[in-house]
Structure 1
Amino acid sequence: MFYPGKPVMEVGSADFPNARSAMNSPLAKALYGIDGITRVFFGSDFVTVTKSEDASWDFLKPEIFAAIMDFYTSGKPLFLDSNAAAAMDTAINEDDSETVAMIKELLETRIRPAVQDDGGDIEYRGFDTETGIVKLTMQGACSGCPSSSVTLKSGIENMLMHYVPEVKGVEQELDAAEDEDATLTG
């Protein structure tokens, strides 16, 4: 986790699981330009960078710090398309049921801050009223972390089931790019 000393995201977070997804952010694109970077994630006041196994932090840290500082002195926007900037996944909409509103509120106030402390984030993807399953996506450092499924199942699932009786379980939903990567490596 890198702290630029300035707010990174005003609202929500942004996850860039591959270089292609970083094209709308000059900062993420610059970080992917560093050899050995495999994932970039923006939180409220931090940037999480994941490296490949064969890359060394000793060589990467100065380059990452330089890229972040260059970005902040350049005056460029964080995103080229301002619509992509804010993650509105937990915004409560008028047509949300009371159950969905409670799930979103718990995610935003209790779960998201804890996950962000570990350099990641969580994105709400939906709730199936028939099965009682909440669909979520882990992002940033949490997405590739072996303990993310434990976090998802024990921590998040237990909390949601405790406060929202309609919730019967939680499942992780992978992005298409991650699904493709898993197919290629698995």
Structure 2
Amino acid sequence: MVAVQKTETVEWEEVANDLKIIINEFYQNANIVANEAPQNKEAYSLYAEITPNPNVMKFVANRMLYDGRLEFKKAGDADGGTIVSEIFTLPFVREVFVSDNYISVSKSEDIDWQDVSLETRSFILEALQSGKPLFGKAEAAQQAAPTAGSKTYSDIENQIKAILEEHVKPAVASDGGNIELVEFKDDSKTAVMLLQGACSGCPSSTMTLKNGIENMLKQMMPGVVENVEALNG
């Protein structure tokens, strides 16, 4: 909309048509579409959620961010110009994990989340609303490559994976992490798990594996699984 105020000595009937022509010519010469409304930024909301890992905070958005799981262990893992790369510019950030509608951020141990959680939340929210890509396509393709069908799982491994999907992963995801089966060792009856996000390096992860997942697998697959080992992502 363009509003014009005239002087009292001029009548609108005398100048309205000429003024309309001048304004239209201005928009045409400036390559501006007069009726085009400004585009609104993406409307995001974001809240911070503590996790069992004291070094990891989970930042949850009101919409899906990525249908999958991506882990960035250092700043060099993220393409420049992406939201993940910008998160790494915060001096206390050590790792970033992205899945579904949340971003888990791992901080250095000498920093207290009480001092930086609001800053981190505002930083991520502004980055999301800017419309920048969350990460590069090459990053997603590279991390997906190892699980894109190159490994053939045995029947036992598929049973373990099914149990994880139904009984374990939902709870782990709610804590800002992820767990994946790496392999099953027949000789020692051991299921090797990869811990990601808030689970990686978490002090309570070992206890959770031994008391929770290992006992569950023993009960649901008696005589098949006897041990669970954890690898940090």
TM-score range, shorter chain: 0.7 to 0.9
Q: State the Cα RMSD in Å.
A: 2.7
TM-score, normalising length: structure 1? 0.78
Which of 177, 185, 192 pairs up with 1:120? 177
* Alpha-carbon distance, 1:93 to partner: 8.8
Q: 1: CA distance between counterparts of 2:81 and 2:181?
A: 22
Which of 175, 189, 198 pairs up with 1:141? 198
Deviation per CA, 1:92-149: give whole Å up to 9, x if none.
9994322111111111221111111212111221111222111112111121211111
One-letter code of the match for 2:107? K
One-letter code of the match for 1:148? S
The answer for the alignment partner of 1:19 in structure 2 is 75
Structure 1, unmatched stretches of 5+, are 176-186
* 2:92 aligned with 1:36: yes
User: Which one has the bigger strand percentage?
Assistant: 2
1:1-12 correspondence to structure 2 within 5 Å: 1-11=58-68
Q: 2: CA distance between counterparts of 1:107 and 1:24?
A: 34
Task: Check 1:152–1:53 CA distance in 2 against 1; reply closer, same or farther (3 A cut).
Answer: same
Same amino acid, percent of matched pairs? 35
Task: Check 1:169–1:23 CA distance in 2 against 1; reply closer, same or farther (3 A cut).
Answer: farther
Deviation per CA, 1:50-86: give whole Å up to 9, x if none.
2223324354234322332233233333331141465
Task: Check 1:172–1:56 CA distance in 2 against 1; reply closer, same or farther (3 A cut).
Answer: closer
The answer for the alignment partner of 1:74 in structure 2 is 130
* Alpha-carbon distance, 1:41 to partner: 1.6
C-alpha contact 2:185 2:191 (8 A) present in aligned 1:
yes
The answer for the alignment partner of 2:162 in structure 1 is 105
User: Which one has the bigger helix percentage?
Assistant: 1
Q: 2: CA distance between counterparts of 1:45 and 1:2?
A: 9
Structure 2, unmatched stretches of 5+, are 1-57
The answer for the alignment partner of 1:169 in structure 2 is 227
One-letter code of the match for 1:9? Y
C-alpha contact 2:78 2:135 (8 A) present in aligned 1:
no
One-letter code of the match for 2:131? G
Deviation per CA, 1:145-166: give whole Å up to 9, x if none.
1111101111111112221232
Higher-RCO chain (CA-CA 8 Å, sequence separation at least 6): 1
The answer for the alignment partner of 1:184 in structure 2 is none
